[in-house]
Amino acid sequence: MAYDKDNIFAKILHGEIPAVIVYEDDQTLAFMDVMPQSPGHTLVIPKTEAEDLFDLDLEAGAAVLRTSQRLARAVQEAFGADGIMINQFNGPAAGQSVFHYHVHIVPRFDGVPLRRHSGDMEDTAVLEEQAAKIRQALD
Ligand code: DGP
């Protein structure tokens, strides 16, 4: 399958549809997942075109890892999470639904089950509030 330039994350990257942005540098963008599995669920994407892990340039992958580590620290601090789960799906059979490579940063809390993957949409106002907490916790 060829990379679809009109996928929803490409549109976010190019400012064609809105997203609650948490962090941006020259190689990566991080924004709130609109269907969070827990409060603070954040996504990190490369600015290069890559459908999935198999398609990912390693330099872009290193940049995504660097941003993911920074974001994971900030999310953990901002939400007082007991743990941080990192997910990354490749192919529909693995649960991938948006075909621009992305890493999920999902805060986990002892004894609290996750909401469904790609489940209910969160209010933008709530996501804005959570993003502000994460931005504040970023180094
Ligand atoms: P995956 O299954 O790994 O491809 O997950 C895609 C994630 O993206 C899923 O958790 C829901 C989220 N998502 C889907 N559409 C949008 C959108 O338009 N904006 C944002 N911020 N997140 C989205």
Kindly state which CATH superfamily the domain 8-112+125-138 is placed in.
HIT-like (3.30.428.10)
DSSP, res 94? G
Q: Is 102 known to be catalytic?
A: yes
Distance (Å, whole) CA 3 – CA 99: 7
- Of 14, 102, 104, 117, catalytic: 102
Distance (Å, whole) CA 117 – CA 6: 22
Q: Tell me what pLDDT residue 126 has.
A: 98
Against a cut of 0.85, is the pTM above it? Answer: yes
Which of 33, 19, 23, 38 is closest to 81 using CA atoms? 38
Residue 42 backbone zone (phi > 0: left; psi -120 to 50: alpha; other: beta): beta
- Which amino acid is present at 65? L
CA of 98 to the centre of ligand 1 (A): 6
pLDDT digits (tens, 9 = 90+) for 71-107: 999 999 999 999 999 999 999 999 999 999 999 999 9
Q: Where are the domains of the chain?
A: 8-112+125-138
pLDDT digits (tens, 9 = 90+) for 20-62: 999 999 999 999 999 999 999 999 999 999 999 999 999 999 9
Closest ligand 1 atom to residue 37 Cα is 10
